[in-house]
Structure 1
Amino acid sequence: MLSAYVDRAGVYTDFFEVMLPGQANLDEFIAAFYTTWLFRLERAVLTLGLRRRISDSDVMALANGTAERFAAWEVESRAEAQLLLCDLSGRTRSYLAVAPKEGGVTRLLFGSAVVPREGAELGAVVRAILPLHRFYSKALLRLAERKMRWG
C-alpha cells in the first residue's frame, strides 16, 4: 500500500521494521502502537488541536476495523495484514503492517509518506524535521514491539 507513493516525484517515504518473537495480527499491532506512552503524548497534542478527546476505545475501533477515522487520519486502504492512513490534509500517510516469518516471528512494519502540494516540492521546514520524524517513527515502532512482547 505504501509502495504506491515510493516512486512519486517529490514524495518522501520511509519504512521501518522490527521482529517480534511469536505470532501477532494487525489488530494487536495497531492497538499496541497507538497506546504506547509516546503516542499517548501525541494523542494529547492532537486532542488539543482537534478539540476532541482521543480515547483507547477510538484506538480499538480502528484496530478492529469498525472505524474509518482515527484522530487526524482516515483509512485510505486496509487489508488483513496492513493499514494505510491518510491525514485530514491529504499530505501525509501512515502505514502499519504485520508479516509472519519462519520460526514463529512476526515482522512489524511502520512507514510514512509525505506528499507535497500538487506541482510543489517538500518545503524547507518539512525537510529539516525529517531526521526527527525518522527518530520518532523508529521509537514508536520499538515501543509498540516492546508493549506487544511484555504487555
Structure 2
Amino acid sequence: MNPIEIRALPAHALLARYEGTGAYTDCHALAVDGRVPLASYVEAFYTSPAFKPERWLLGAVLGRRANDTDAAALAAGHVETFSAWRVEARAADQIVLATGRTRSWLMVAPRADGAAPQTTLFFGSAVLPRAQGGLGWTIDALTGFHKLYSRVLLRAAAKRVAARSGT
C-alpha cells in the first residue's frame, strides 16, 4: 500500500476555513487504487476496527452510541449527526463533522494521471482555539498521539475500502 503523506490542506477543502484563525489543522493523504466515492470512504472510516474503540468510548462516556448502520446512514447523507458529531459541511467529495472545538474532515479526490484509476483519500482535523485564546495544554500534549492515531485511522479506512472493492 502507498505511504501516507502529510500535506497542506487543498485550497478548496472545507476544513481550510480554519487555517490562519489560530486553530490547529492537519491533512493526511493516501492514494488507493480504483474510484472511491465519498460515501464508501466515510462508511469505511467510521466502521473500521481502528475507529470502533473511539466510537465505543464516546458512547460510554457521552451516552451517544453509534453503530455501523448509523455510519452507513451518515455516509449516505441520510442523517446529520453521528455519535458526538454533527455534520458541519458537506459537498460531493468531502464532509466536515464537528463536536465541541474539534472538526474531522474526510475528502476523496479521483486521480487520472496514471494508467489505472486512483483515488486520494484525505483525512484532516481542526481544533479551534478556546474563547480566551490559545489551544490549551491538553492539545499540545496530545498532538503527537493525534498524528499517529490519524495515520492509523486513515490506513484502516483504506484497507477497508480495498477489501470492499476487491482491490
TM-score (norm 2): 0.86
Name the SS for the 1:19 alignment partner. strand
Partner of 2:109: 99
Q: Does 1:13 align with 2:10?
A: no
Name the SS for the 1:46 alignment partner. helix
Partner of 2:10: none
Name the SS for the 1:54 alignment partner. coil
Which 5+ residue runs of structure 2 have no aligned equivalent? 1-13
Partner of 2:137: 124
Partner of 1:49: 61
Which 5+ residue runs of structure 1 have no aligned equivalent? none
What letter corresponds to residue 30 of structure 1 in structure 2?
Answer: V
Name the SS for the 1:37 alignment partner. coil
Alpha-carbon offset, residue 52 of structure 1: 4.0
Aligned residues: 148
TM-score (norm 1): 0.94
Decide which of 74, 77, 90 is 1:65's aligned counterpart. Answer: 77
Alpha-carbon offset, residue 51 of structure 1: 1.8
Alpha-carbon offset, residue 47 of structure 1: 1.1
- Give the CA RMSD over aligned residues: 1.0
Alpha-carbon offset, residue 120 of structure 1: 1.2
Deviations 1:107-142 (A, max 9, x none): 000000000222310111210100100100111001
Alpha-carbon offset, residue 143 of structure 1: 0.8
Runs ≥4 residues deviating over 6 A? none
Alpha-carbon offset, residue 150 of structure 1: 2.1
Decide which of 73, 77, 84 is 2:96's aligned counterpart. Answer: 84
Matches of 1:146 and 1:105, distance apart in 2: 14
Q: Does 1:135 align with 2:135?
A: no
Partner of 2:157: 144
Name the SS for the 1:76 alignment partner. strand
Partner of 1:115: 128
Alpha-carbon offset, residue 50 of structure 1: 2.1
Name the SS for the 1:120 alignment partner. coil
